[in-house]
A and B are shown apart, each in its own frame.
Chain A
Amino acid sequence: MKPGPSPCTAFREGKVGVPDEVLIVDRVVKRYGGKTAVDHVSFEVRPGEILGFLGPNGAGKTTTLRMIMGITAPDEGRILFRLPEGGTGAVPRGASAAGGSGRIPAHLVGYLPEERGLYRDARVIDVLLFLASLKGLRGRAARARAMEWLERFGLGPQARARVNQLSKGMAQKVQFIAAVLHQPRLLVLDEPFSGLDPVNQELFMEEIRRLAAQGCAVLLSSHQMNLVEAMCERIFLIHQGRRVVYGPLAEIKAAYGVHRVRLLVRDPAWRVPASGLVESAEYDGPRATVLLKPGVEPAAFLASLPADAPIEEMAVARISLHEIFVRIARGEAAA
């Protein structure tokens, strides 16, 4: 497949202005019975970016993604599509849209749900062609593109195999191909890495990055923070149906990602002097892990230590996205 024009690359190279959002989720609310599963959630996805969509189990991630795909309808708020090639549309409120994506530009949107499978007794190529046909891609073009993707993933010889003859990893690749075969301009991925071995994880990451580089907007929901951290420039963190963090990853890490100082000391009985700079300190024999308060620079902490502190080694790092996520989910950090 020839890479198409990449608005993202052009944007990065400064040849065009700030790209418009292709997906706008605007104050969306979804209730089930008396429970509010999604509570006034708003975010946008831009062409060529990978937006990380994070949250603990039951936070409302899948509900939000299903609303975007028109599978369930929001009770309040708007979901707007501003895709090229006539890909504008909106998921209407109420039930008129529920139960399927009748009103979204489905031919420009790819979706890999968390609950996913394949028709077990069908042939791989037939399943791919059927799913492509639902997106408006038919005939020889569809077949050629399907074969191209299968070859790319090393599944060319399995094209005519039945799905139940595939290994789990192979089936996951076919599911991914089904989501991207029609060259979507917006790709919604719900836990795409779950169950993948490290080699296939790397492969998927590479392909997602490649699609984004070609201008595809990617909304990526995942529990695997290290992968999200490695791939996304912006993230949206949802907890109990509400937004807790939204913005560029670097800014979030700067705001929430306090510094952690790891020390190796000669005297296991030594303790960090109490000061207003330290959030917490944990000790394990000669090792100490000190969490600095938000906004405290490591140098300031270093300067606060006595000159005769028995320090052998010292390492400073920002806490990871995973730790930010856990702290926010536990309510240890405020939005």
Chain B
Amino acid sequence: MKGWPGTSEVIRWEVMRNLRNRSFLVGMLLTPLVALLMAGVPALLGYLDRPTPQTYAVVDRIDGYAVLEDLVTDGQVRLVPAGDAGAAQARVDTGEVDGYLVLDDEFLETGVLHLYVSDRDRPVPGGLQEALTRLLQGRRLGAVGLDLDDAERLLAPAAVVRTVLGQEPGDDPAPDWHRLPTAIGAVVLLMLLIMTSGTMLLQSALQEKRDRMSEVVLSSINARQLMAGKIIGHFLLGVLQAVIWLAVALPLAGLVFKVQITRWIALESVPVIALFFLLGYLLYAALFVAAGATMEDIQNSSSLQGMVFLLPFLPFLVLGPVMINPTGSIARTATLFPLTSPVIAVLRVGMGDVPAWEIAAAAVLLLLAAALVTYAAARVFRVGMLMYGKTATPAEIWRWIRTP
């Protein structure tokens, strides 16, 4: 019973018993529904409370009605022509329109336009304000022999194009705009996986002890096989959960935001992100499962064990400085530090080009840390799983790690 066979049985057991567990299934299926509800309720409220389109009569004395109508594009304002102010006033009185305005020379001269409305609480629609501004600018520019396009070109901001010395111009392309969503998606997924699978892992180790099963199981396989089986099994469960959630969320997001989600996925950064993702999961999974082996139950966990829950949030302490200065010393340190690199390195890959040596060094450090933590966790797990009825002290845990 060496190696993979024992581990594969534990993986199958962990996966199947959770898939047969009602509360796990309910959680897995209900979470996307709750998330949908949470996301959908504000959208629904916004839809229900959306401003109603307003109709204004336009008395046109400068031959600008057609231009103005073209410029109003937001759908919230409708214009109708009116012969004179009296006719327009009458249409307001009958409720046919919400108000009226007069396009005349005074408007072109002063830039001030009076909007006559029946309801004092109704604000001036932004779309109308913008269209009138464009009309005014166009007319005034025309008066001095320019058109709006010329004016926009004249007032356009400077475009700074960076060219690295020693390279041909254009060899320094701007970062892929779609890398960042990929990186953010991976970070969110990793955090989700660590928090769901990690918690389940910890509870699984606790349950093994609570149900007095450790010794029975360890008489058939060794502690490393049991730990590996639990880590991989819960990883698969977490991935299954994530796949189900994404299967609901992605098409829905595409529908709501009217974008093609696949265009947001930067395939070229997936290998690097996947590497940090897997190593990051392994690091935290090993920490969580070892923490579970040292406790009697969650209520009796010590502050040291409580710290384990907080470690995955460590990267968020430096997230602000990293976003402001992605190449600064804090960002670089957090990229190399194994407890923060699964998040920070991935985000920096998404934000721009990170030197290859930094990524390689971060990956090697994370790999070493994951191996070291898994090794220490296996030692803690080995002894902790057979310790019933008490929570281990830090001194005991340290002794277990040192004991060969």
Contacts and interface: CB of A to CB of B under 8 A. Distances in A.
Contact of A120 (B211, B217, B381): B211
A69 B219 contact: yes
10 contacts: A71-B218, A99-B378, A106-B219, A106-B221, A115-B212, A115-B215, A117-B216, A123-B20, A134-B1, A135-B1
Interface string B375-404: 000100111011010000000000000011
Interface residues of B, number: 38
Contacts of A135: 1, 220
A109 B217 CA distance: 13
A116 interface: yes
A106 B382 contact: no
Contacts of A211: none
Given A95-B404, A117-B212, A134-B1, A100 B218 contact: yes
A121 B386 contact: no
Contacts of B220: 101, 106, 131, 134-135
A285 B400 CA distance: 60
Nearest to B1: A106
B107 interface: no
Contact of B219 (A95, A113, A130): A113
B222 A102 contact: yes
A53 interface: no
B1 to A, nearest CB: 5
Interface string A36-48: 0000000000000
Contacts of B216: 111, 113, 116-117, 131, 175, 178
B183 interface: no
A122 B207 CA distance: 12
Given A115-B388, A133-B9, A136-B5, 15 more contacts: A66-B215, A69-B218, A71-B386, A94-B404, A95-B403, A99-B222, A99-B383, A102-B1, A103-B2, A113-B216, A116-B212, A117-B212, A118-B213, A121-B21, A131-B220
| Best-surrounded residue of B218, B226, B383, B385 (most CB of chain A within 10 A) | B218
Given A115-B215, A117-B213, A102 B5 contact: no
B221 A102 contact: yes
Contacts of B1: 101-102, 106-107, 134-136
A133 B8 CA distance: 10
B17 interface: yes
Nearest to B384: A99
Contacts of B16: 126
B14 to A, nearest CB: 10
A178 B220 CA distance: 12
B222 A119 contact: no
B225 A102 contact: yes
A333 B268 CA distance: 80
Most buried by A among B212, B383, B403: B212
B226 to A, nearest CB: 7
B17 A122 contact: yes
A241 interface: no
A134 B386 contact: no
A249 to B, nearest CB: 27
A98 interface: yes
A60 interface: no
A70 interface: yes
Nearest to B225: A100
Contact of A71 (B2, B12, B219): B219
A253 B388 CA distance: 38
Contact of A98 (B5, B6, B215, B382): B382
Contacts of A103: 2
B13 interface: yes
Nearest to B381: A99
B234 interface: no
The residue among A69, A99, A117, A121 with the most chain B CB atoms within 10 A of its own CB is: A99
A103 B20 CA distance: 33
A1 B218 CA distance: 27
A246 to B, nearest CB: 24
A242 B386 CA distance: 24
Nearest to A120: B211
Nearest to B215: A113
B179 interface: no
B6 A134 contact: yes
B224 interface: yes
B292 to A, nearest CB: 15
Contacts of B102: none
A109 B222 contact: no
Nearest to A100: B222
A130 B5 CA distance: 12
A167 B334 CA distance: 55
A46 B222 CA distance: 26
Given A94-B404, A134-B1, A134-B9, A116 B224 contact: no
B382 A134 contact: no
A126 B219 contact: no
A121 B355 CA distance: 51
B223 interface: yes
A294 to B, nearest CB: 40
B21 A119 contact: no
A118 B9 CA distance: 17
B9 A99 contact: no
A175 B220 CA distance: 14
Contacts of A106: 1, 219-221
Contacts of A98: 382
A135 B216 CA distance: 11
Contacts of B224: 99-100, 102
A99 B385 CA distance: 9
Contacts of A69: 218-219
Question: Which 3 A-B residue pairings sit nearest by Cβ, starting from the closest?
Answer: A100-B222, A99-B382, A117-B212
Contacts of A71: 215, 218-219, 386
Nearest to B8: A133
Contacts of B218: 69, 71, 99-101
B17 A119 contact: yes
B38 to A, nearest CB: 30
Interface in B330-384: 378, 381-383
A102 B5 CA distance: 11
Contacts of A134: 1, 6, 9-10, 217, 220-221
Nearest to A102: B222
Contacts of A126: 16-17, 20
Contacts of B381: 99
Interface string B221-257: 1111110000000000000000000000000000000
A100 B222 CA distance: 3
